Chains A and B, each alone.
Chain A
Amino acid sequence: MLHEHPPDCPLSVHDLTVAYQRKPVIWDVDLNIPEGKLVGIVGPNGAGKSTLLKACLDLIPKTSGWVNIYGEPYRANRHLVGYVPQRESVDWDFPVSALDVVAMGTYRRLGWFRPVGKAEKAVALEALEKVGIAHLAGRQISQLSGGQQQRVFLARALAQDAKVYFMDEPFAAVDAATEQAIVTLLQELRNSGRTCLVVHHDLATVAQYFDWLIFLNLRVVASGPTAEVFNDDNLRKTYGGKLSLLDHAAEAIRRS
């Protein structure tokens, strides 16, 4: 177990436990994530992946332990953090346009009471351009496809202009073109020194997309550079006896 948490670390987690109604969902998680990495968080359903993200963002109470962002608690450094929640977490029939949603990424800099102005809309439009759907800026969000909705969420994260991004299953149910666009975007973010933590489900692509992996199943099974930790042993410890998944994984290892 790690006991040193360097202060320049984008994310350090110390002995974090989260429990719902006395039942632990994640247990004694200890992590140091280096800067400028694409970090994949993998584990079976119910392993606590989303819970880990939410606890890092102070969205749910911690039972014990602490989380630091660049050496400070979340509250002090929230301006360094961007969040992409699961797509199903919001109501896409809500009466807002794609541009409105992306502009929400600028609200923290705006602060309380100040309305969205031209500058914020320009930032939002630029972010939409980066994800390739600037032409849909005026659309109400229910009139976008699943992939386009996911791109809106990513554009909003870009508009936040953060140093560390937490993304909850951005690849869930998107088309191949969107998946490729997200991968390119993640690489651009990494190349500009940003750190991205991404909950990911597809073991076939995990080694290809990410350069650091966290294997999570209640506890951290392994955390480290993909080349070191992506092996049969860790997959077996994380996924247990779920054989069909393991077969997928074995195939993925052969390919990588």
Chain B
Amino acid sequence: MNWTTDDTWIALTGALCALACSLPGCFLVLRKMSMMGDAISHAVLPGLAIAFLVTGDRASLPMFLGAAATGVLTAVFTQWITRFGNIDQGAAMGIVFTTLFALGLILIVQAADHVDLDPGCVLYGAIEFITFDTVRLGGWEIPRAAVVNGGALLLNLVVIATLYKELRLSSFDSGLADTLGFSSGLLHYLLMTLVAVTTVAAFESVGSIIVIAMMIVPPAAALLLTRRLLPMLLISSGIATASAVLGHWMALVLPPLIGFERTNTSGMMAFTAGLLFTLAWIFSPSEGLLKRYTAGAISESGSYPNP
């Protein structure tokens, strides 16, 4: 294996993106709306297409704003359909994002087929090539993807640190939050905005498979390992970082070993997250397979002792 500076940048960018996704992901998992990241990452397509049609150019900012706006709209439409259509939230999400994704496809094929706005590229990204697109920052050549994902991470860190108490309250008991004067609707859309911005920042540079995986898998694994919110956020961050770094390393090391010609780093990072989840599932102190097995051997009961 030959680990170069480029590989360091790829692993670092993957880690920044994984971290940025896993932070709001913890709250999504706790609110039982884990698939929101998936929905938003698909639903941003018409936003991208419309931004392109309006400006006629692939400049980053308008595309970013268009995508982020559609992302937030996904959350708004989902909420509407859930409330007025009396439909379960998962189904409402499915209706909204498939419709928006399809609309995006139609727009792209109709009006922008000749330019490089490739739906396939949107899905699995191009994290291997991030070092070809750099910006100068304080005398350093830094991949643009690292800057963008780092920015998303910083935004998530700041918002979650300042509104930790409010997000925890409204995720646990939205009714109480409202009666206390912390608008649960406002906090919901704030979280959805973070998810949308993070998703858009990530999927363009590293592909949406990482977004979907990192918003759900590290938080879900962390929830198996702890029963407190702050440790959950920290463990989830650790798993996200490890998935990205190990994932890229495995993408380099594994193919020759198993006789594959090449592999895909984004896919490998998501796959590693899945492996780490499996480990957490086996070794979880509360509901792990190992614990269940040993507890069953001792007392024949796999459940909690009744307090």
Instruction: Take A78-B180, A107-B180, A136-B307 as given contacts and tell me if A96 and B228 are in contact as well, using a CB distance cutoff of 8 Å.
Output: yes
Q: Could you tell me if A94 and B175 are in contact, using CB atoms closer than 8 angstroms?
A: no
Min CB gap A69→B, angstroms: 11
Does A176 sit within 8 A of B, measured CB to CB? no
Instruction: Take A58-B178, A78-B179, A107-B182 as given contacts and tell me if A95 and B165 are in contact as well, using a CB distance cutoff of 8 Å.
Output: no
Separation of A54 and B181 alpha carbons in the complex (Å): 14
SS of B interface (majority): helix
Q: Could you tell me if B168 and A96 are in contact, using CB atoms closer than 8 angstroms?
A: yes
Q: Could you tell me if A89 and B179 are in contact, using CB atoms closer than 8 angstroms?
A: no
Does B173 sit within 8 A of A, measured CB to CB? yes
> Which residue on chain A has the smallest CB distance to residue B173?
A90
When each residue 99-116 of chain A gets 1 if its CB lies under 8 Å from chain B and 0 otherwise, what string results?
Answer: 011001001101011111
Interface hits, A92-149 → B, CB 8 Å: 94-97, 100-101, 104, 107-108, 110, 112-116, 136, 139-140, 142-145, 148
Min CB gap B223→A, angstroms: 7
> Which residue on chain B has the smallest CB distance to residue A168?
B175
B residues near A90, Cβ cutoff 8 Å: 172-173
Q: Could you tell me if A115 and B165 are in contact, using CB atoms closer than 8 angstroms?
A: yes
Chain B interface residue count, CB cutoff 8 Å, equals: 29
Q: Could you tell me if B179 and A81 are in contact, using CB atoms closer than 8 angstroms?
A: yes
Q: Could you tell me if B163 and A113 are in contact, using CB atoms closer than 8 angstroms?
A: yes
Instruction: Take A90-B172, A97-B228, A144-B307 as given contacts and tell me if A110 and B179 are in contact as well, using a CB distance cutoff of 8 Å.
Output: no
Separation of A94 and B30 alpha carbons in the complex (Å): 7
Of A96, A114, A148, the most chain B CB neighbours within 10 A belong to A96
Instruction: Take A94-B171, A95-B30 as given contacts and tell me if A148 and B307 are in contact as well, using a CB distance cutoff of 8 Å.
Output: yes
Q: Which residues of A contact B (CB under 8 A)?
A: 21, 54, 57-59, 78, 81, 83, 85, 89-91, 94-97, 100-101, 104, 107-108, 110, 112-116, 136, 139-140, 142-145, 148, 156
Q: Which residues of B contact A (CB under 8 A)?
A: 30, 32, 86, 162-166, 168-169, 171-173, 175-176, 178-182, 223, 226-229, 232, 304, 306-307
Give 12 CB contacts A-B under 8 Å. A57-B175, A58-B178, A85-B176, A94-B171, A95-B226, A95-B232, A96-B228, A97-B228, A100-B229, A104-B180, A110-B165, A112-B166
